[in-house]
Each structure stands twice: as structure tokens, then as C-alpha cells.
Amino acid sequence: MGPLYCALISQIAIILAFAIIGAGLKEIDDAFDEDGYSKKKAIVIAPIIVLMWICLSLFDSISATILFSILFAVLLTGKIDNLIFKVSTIALISILFLTQMLNLLWIPLVVLILMGVADEKGNDYVDNHATLTLVEFFFSYRFCMKMGLLSLCILTLLPWLYLLAFLAHDGAYESVRIVGKISVAHQR
């Protein structure tokens, strides 16, 4: 196996890991917020997601930067709202402080946290207020963080691979939401 092959496998693994983490987070979130989801399944998924997140973060500081920016954004906006997320957050932040604090990319971290907070606040706003369709779409699908990542890639502060990885995370997250809505509607 040549270095190009190994690099390709590594890139695919990063994208897949982001997708699995995104899907897992949505599955856990829905288990505690929506009817028709299994809390037992969420309890089984949570440690797997935490371990995957930790492994990815330990071996890749850019992944750590992006994943922890997501975590800090939801933490700052009060979205850590169930015991599984609270325990997972404690585990992740403990690992972060023990291993990764010096390896995070600080400018991208701050930019992405701010964009993530804007996404969460905007999403809450459009959930509770009548807005223009475009504004509702923008915040319902949390485009601030996507635009933040795109900007960081354009400015060459992050490699383009991580925009793809983040989009895989987001796409998997949204897929679980869509499949969940279909499943719940089908059960009725």
C-alpha cells in the first residue's frame, strides 16, 4: 500500500466518522426529545459515539477543533438537555483538557463556536417566530457553521476535507431527522 492509498483511506475514515457521530448525536437527541425513539438504543449508542469522537480527536487536531466547536456551541446555548448528553459532555471535555487543549486550532475554534451559537440561537428563533422562508430555511438547517467552515477553507485555515467531513456529519444528522419523522408518521 502506497502513501496515497493510506492518505485516501484516512480521509474516507474521517468523513465516515463525522457522519456516524452526526447520526448518533441526532439519534440520542431524538430519543430524549421526541416520541417513538428508543432511550435504550440511545444509551447504547452514546458511549460508541464518545469513543469514536475521542479517537478521532486524539489522532486529528482539526477534527478535534471542529467537533469541540460543535460541543461548545451547544453547551453555551444550553442545549445539553439530557443525562446522556451531560455525561458524554463531561467525558469529552475531560479528555479534551487532558490531551488536546494545546493542539486545537484556536482561530477556527472561536469562529466555529460563534457560528454554532448563531445557528442554535437562529434555530430557536425561527422555531418560535414567523420569519421569511429563506431565513427559516437558513437557520433550520444551520447554515452559519457551514458558511464558517467554508470561509475557513477558502482562507486556507482548514483543508477542504473537513468541509466534506462536516457536511457528512450534518447530512447524517439531517437524515436521521427525516427518517425518524417518516417512521413516527408511519407508526401512527
User: What's residue 129's pLDDT?
Assistant: 86
Q: Coil, strand or helix: which one is 108?
A: helix
User: What's residue 47's pLDDT?
Assistant: 95
* CA pair distance 145, 72, nearest whole angstrom: 13
Tens digit of each residue's pLDDT (9 = 90 or more) over 82-132: 888 889 999 998 888 777 777 899 999 999 999 999 999 999 999 888 888
* Residue 158 dihedral angles phi and psi, to the nearest 5°: -140, 145
* CA pair distance 86, 158, nearest whole angstrom: 29
Q: Coil, strand or helix: which one is 152?
A: helix
* CA pair distance 84, 43, nearest whole angstrom: 7
- Give pTM, 2 decimals: 0.91
Q: Percent of the chain beyond pLDDT 70?
A: 95
Tens digit of each residue's pLDDT (9 = 90 or more) over 31-41: 888 777 788 99
